[in-house]
Amino acid sequence: MADVIGRAGGLLVEAPHLPGRLLRSLRGGSLERAVSGRVVLVTGASSGIGRATALRIAAAGGTVLLVARGRDALDEVRRAIDAAGGDAHVHRCDLSDLADVERMAAEVLARHGRVDVLVNNAGRSIRRSVDDSYERMHDYERTMQLNYFGAVRLILALLPQMRARRRGHIVNISSTGVQLSVPRYSAYVASKAALDAFARCIAPEVQGDGVRITTVYMPLVRTPMIVPTGRYRSFPALSPDQAANLVADALAHRPRRVASPLGNFVELAHAVLPGAVENVANGAYRLLR
């Protein structure tokens, strides 16, 4: 029963993304065409959305490079891909250590020759009001270190070879929280928004070289990341496989952004009626302790 409710909730959250996905499918393109025979690096591939995405890419014929810190969990994903007849390689890295990112990127290019597609998925979230953050500057630093600087360092390391080959795709897993400016997530949302802004600035610089950047504004997904927030148990959320559908769709069709109508509506409302949106968010902040 709980499973049925969970699936129904997941469909409810996935449904708003369906019109965009349908439109893109009509334009053609498939995951197989996008990744078959290509080298695809997925960060945070040992758990949740990244794990499900890595399995999906491997099943579509891509060579998947699995990146995260935990060796055992990465090996488990590699074995699952091997068992299904796919091709995966583990490249351990602490993405919040920029020297380690440089080392890993050099190792990957030396071993595989290129990275055609980069999925920047590894991330950490912090749910804490500003009230509780006055003495916690490190919360802001550690979210930026991984969600922004780690991703930027990796992009800077892999972009030159994509541009030289005149083809590449970078998919950044952002959050609907950026569009909704969710209270209690100032550290997390700001770090995700920083990467979105970085991507929007460099996209016009690199498009002439065949490199596309996609930002996926991911809704709530039932992964280990949201476990600490007990309240989310009763919220509708995607399963990791449903989240991987959104990423697979982004890989297949290379849109500039993947977002729900709700996210887009709130983003637009924020530009036009910021006071009204802030009042609604204040209500949510008081209600959802």
Ligand X SMILES: NC(=O)c1ccc[n+]([C@@H]2O[C@H](COP(=O)([O-])OP(=O)(O)OC[C@H]3O[C@@H](n4cnc5c(N)ncnc54)[C@H](OP(=O)(O)O)[C@@H]3O)[C@@H](O)[C@H]2O)c1
Site residues for ligand X per CB under 6 A: 43-44, 46-50, 68-70, 73, 93-96, 121-125, 146, 173, 175, 218, 220-221, 223-226
Report the DSSP beta bridge partners of residue 242.
Answer: none
Distances (CA, A) of 131 to 27, 47, 81, 134, 285: 48, 31, 45, 7, 12
Q: Does the active-site annotation cover 285? A: no
Q: Return the number of the residue (123 or 168) whose C-beta is nearest ligand X.
A: 123
**Least Å distance between CB 93 and ligand X?**
6
**Least Å distance between CB 188 and ligand X?**
7
Q: Return the number of the residue (67 or 252) whose C-beta is nearest ligand X.
A: 67
Q: Return the number of the residue (63 or 121) whose C-beta is nearest ligand X.
A: 121
Q: Under 8 Å CB-to-CB from 246, ≥6 apart: which residues?
A: 14, 17, 21, 216, 218, 238, 258
Kindly give the pairing relationship between strand 117-120 and strand 168-175: parallel
Q: Return the number of the residue (30 or 229) whose C-beta is nearest ligand X.
A: 229
Provide the residue type at 167 as one letter: R
- The one catalytic residue in 148, 188, 232, 285 is 188
Q: Under 8 Å CB-to-CB from 63, ≥6 apart: which residues?
A: 37, 38, 39, 40, 87, 88, 89, 112
**Least Å distance between CB 28 and ligand X?**
27
**Least Å distance between CB 161 and ligand X?**
21
Distances (CA, A) of 30 to 47, 217, 247: 24, 21, 12
By annotation, the residues acting in catalysis are: 188
